[in-house]
Amino acid sequence: MKIVLVGQPNCGKSTIFNHVAGYKAITSNFPGKTVKFSSSKMTFQGMTSEIVDLPGTYSLTSFDLAELEARKYLLREEADVVVNVIDASLLGRGLELTLQLLELNLPTVICLNMIDEAEAKGIIIDTEKLSHLLGVPVVTAIAHKGWGLNKLFETTFKMAQKPVKSDFQHFSKDVENAIKGLTGYIEKNAYAKELNVTHRFLATKLLENDQHFIDEIKETDASFIEVVQDYQQQLEKCRERSSDEVISSERHHLSMQLYESVVKLSKPKKEFRDYLDSVLMHPVFGYISLIGILYLFFNFVFYVGAILEEPLLDFFYQFLPYAEQVLGADTLLYHIVNGVVQGLAGGIAIVLPFLFPFLLGLAFLEDTGYLPRVAYLMDSFLHRIGLHGKAIIPLILGYGCTVPAVMATRILESERDRFITSVLTTMIPCAARITIVFGLVAFYLGPKAAIFVFVFNIVVVAIAGLILSKIMPEITPGMILEIPAYHMPSIKILLSKVWLRMKEFIVIAWPLLIIGSVVLSLLKHWHLEELINKLISPVTLLLGLPVAVGVTLIFGVLRKELSMVMLVQALGVTDISTVMNSTQIMTFTVFVLFYVPCVATIAVLIKEIGSKRTIFTIIFTFLIAIVLATITRIVY
């Protein structure tokens, strides 16, 4: 059996999903973070089922890629029960999707999530009446506290055993007539069956001028499209507006009517958070707060990391002289042991101390709901580089990991915006590269130099954006973004999220770090690394770096942390400042920040923007890295 969670963006689907599946889907407080569906097995009171978390979708008329994915899934897969999650504080709007879901005529349960938020806003909902009017069960819940979810799944499983379908729909007479007329045509043909939808749903979508369905039918039967256009024109003539507007305002009207009949409004409670935006979104204080928040974040990561890095490094390196004594300096075994210790030290002592506080801070910012505010503040700035405010969300996520950041570009409407933003996210230092900045620049050259690197990076990204939008001049469609209410993140969810992201690092990066270190040790043992270094020497010589650095740049393409962690090993010292001066450290960092995305990023880029554009991205970033690192060598 299959339960599918459907709802508008940011209504809490993933939170419900995680509650029964374990923390598997990243949740945050901004619309559109789930871009592909995830599914999991769940058991409830001895019964098992598959549960699917779909990307948020405002309506079943889809435009962005994540919404399209949700709709395709819903139409393609046989869901036994659809759980329509609604943010209760936005009931009026949520019902518009509900009405469309009911047109699909699938067994449906409605979950009014965040019922506490609704009450705080003064919205009191008569759930029984709503259930009666829609003809489907309605359950209230507060998903992030786990409240009401037992009841929800109880109702869901009951629904699966004894499905109740409802087709509540009553539009105005003229619209109903058009739908009925068109349904008559559809019934005579096999379209609805081929497309796996109900007759009524297809008729409504065709009247709404839904591009996907129109194209689908146009191929086989152009004459039918003429019939559709006839009906569209009838509506347009009668209402003096386009047929899609007629349908959408009918639906809007119907949901508002429903809303008004089940909701009692009382005075909203004034809360502290209602005043937050007058500072955080203020035309002057908003930007000051943004800088302040980022500065605090930076210091938090730096000081937590710095406290832990040194003692941990000392702990690991104390083994090396001992191993050398026992095994002998140039034996194969010593090289392998050395590699393992270096790899472990790199992963635990250099990367982890910075990674953990960084991910914690990022999770906090995501869950409070601050990121959409940043999008608001940055909109006019991003317009100058040819994008719009929403593009800031993938860019900020890029500081965590480039792979999900590239996928997050799906929240952007135009293909060009997605492409430009994808290229720019690869240039934002991900957590791995941030640990390089902290571990090398902040550690050896001081925190001010590290701040300089981050600011410099932003300037370069902005200029790169400017160049790309000059190459692809096209007007960005403009920002339409919901600004959700602030939430106090729950510590448990924050830690689960940090753990989910760290796990990826531990499971994939650590083995690679250790294997990489051992491979480097072996290369050294057989003197093969000199050959590789020679091959890369044009780059290292140009940048004035020690030739031994060359091999680490190759490893860095696998995982960005590798280039720093293996630097220690490649140079054969524990204190890098003894063999590299501050100019060299800076040049190396600048180069590593920008050059060639890592393997995982390249894979996701090919999927999202195509292989040609991925090759462009690789060349583009490499050129930027070479030019900037050369300049750094001369200037710094």
Is residue 375 part of the contact set for another protein (CB under 8 A)? yes
Of the pair 183, 255, the CB lying nearest another protein is at: 255
Stretch 32-61 residues interacting with another protein (CB under 8 A): 58-59, 61
Of 294, 339, 345, residue with least CA distance to 315: 345
* Those residues with Cβ within 8 angstroms of residue 134's Cβ, 6 or more apart along the chain or in another chain: 98, 102, 110, 166, 168, 258
- Tell me if 478 contacts another protein by CB under 8 A: yes
Taking CB atoms within 8 Å and a gap of at least 24, the contacts of 153-159 are 153/20, 153/44, 154/44, 154/45, 155/109, 156/3, 156/81, 156/83, 156/109, 157/44, 157/45, 157/47, 157/49, 159/81, 159/107, 159/108, 159/109
> Quick one: which of 27, 84, 89, 517 contacts another protein (CB under 8 A)?
89
Single out the residue of 479, 539, 554, 605 in contact with another protein (rule: CB under 8 A): 479
Minimum Å distance from CB 286 to another protein? 9
Closer CB to another protein, 72 or 613, in the complex: 72
User: φ, ψ for residue 477 (rounded to 5)?
Assistant: -65, -10
Give the DSSP per-residue string, 74-106. Answer: HHHS--SEEEEEEEGGGHHHHHHHHHHHHHTT-
Q: Are strands 47-53 and 123-125 parallel, antiparallel or unpaired?
A: unpaired
The Cα 76–Cα 72 span in angstroms is 6
Residue closer to another protein, measured from CB, 133 or 483: 483
Task: Determine if 238 is a binding residue for another protein (CB under 8 A).
Answer: no
Q: Quick one: 248 or 582, whose CB is closer to another protein? A: 248
Options 370-378, 489-497, 536-544, 548-556: segment touching another protein (CB under 8 A): 370-378
Q: Where are the alpha helices (DSSP H) in 189-267?
A: 191-195, 199-207, 211-220, 222-239, 243-262
Among 129, 212, 239, 252, binds another protein (CB under 8 A): 252
Q: Which stretch binds another protein (CB under 8 A): 12-20, 190-198, 331-339, 378-386?
A: 378-386
Q: Nearest approach, Cβ of 250 to another protein (angstroms)?
A: 10
Closest separation in Å from C-beta 261 to another protein: 16
Binding mask 283-322 for another protein (x = CB under 8 A): x---------------------------------------
Q: How far apart are CA 390 and CA 378, in angstroms?
A: 9
63 lies in the binding site for another protein (CB under 8 A):
yes
**CB–CB of 12/113 below 8 Å?**
yes
| Closest CB to another protein among residues 3, 90 | 90
Give the total residue count for the chain: 636
Question: What phi and psi values does residue 413 have, to the nearest 5 degrees?
Answer: -80, -40
Residues 288 and 316 sit within 8 Å (Cβ to Cβ): no
SS3 128: helix
CB atoms within 10 A of CB 493: 17
Both tokens assigned to 234: 């009838």
- Which listed residue (146, 181, 447, 477) binds another protein by CB under 8 A? 477
Answer yes or no whether residue 123 interacts with another protein by CB under 8 A: yes
Give the residue carrying structure tokens 């005043």. 275
93 near another protein, judged by CB under 8 A:
yes
Selected binder of another protein within 103, 379, 417, 561 (CB under 8 A): 379
* DSSP state letters, 55-73: PP-SSSS--SHHHHHHHHH
Closest CB to another protein among 94 and 429?
94
Please tell me whether residue 244 binds another protein under the rule CB under 8 A.
yes
379 vs 529 by CB, closer to another protein: 379
Judged by CB under 8 A, the stretch of 149-157, 182-190, 383-391, 589-597 that binds another protein is 383-391
Size of the site for another protein (CB under 8 A): 42
Residue 585 identity: I
Closest approach of another protein to the CB of residue 293, in Å:
19
Among 116, 324, 482, 504, binds another protein (CB under 8 A): 482
Which of residues 276 and 532 has its CB atom nearest to another protein in the complex? Answer: 276
State in Å, rounded, how far the first CA of the chain is from the last one.
63
Query: Does 249 sit near another protein (CB under 8 A)?
Result: yes
Q: Which of 222, 459, 480, 634 binds another protein (CB under 8 A)?
A: 480
Here the tokens at position 458 are 């932003």
Cα separation, 88 vs 82, whole angstroms: 17
Out of 105, 248, 537, 577, the residue judged to bind another protein by CB under 8 A: 248
> Could you list the residues that contact another protein (CB under 8 A)?
58-59, 61, 63, 89-90, 92-93, 96, 121, 123, 209, 241-242, 244-245, 248-249, 252, 277, 281, 283, 372, 375-377, 379-380, 383, 388-389, 413, 475, 477-485
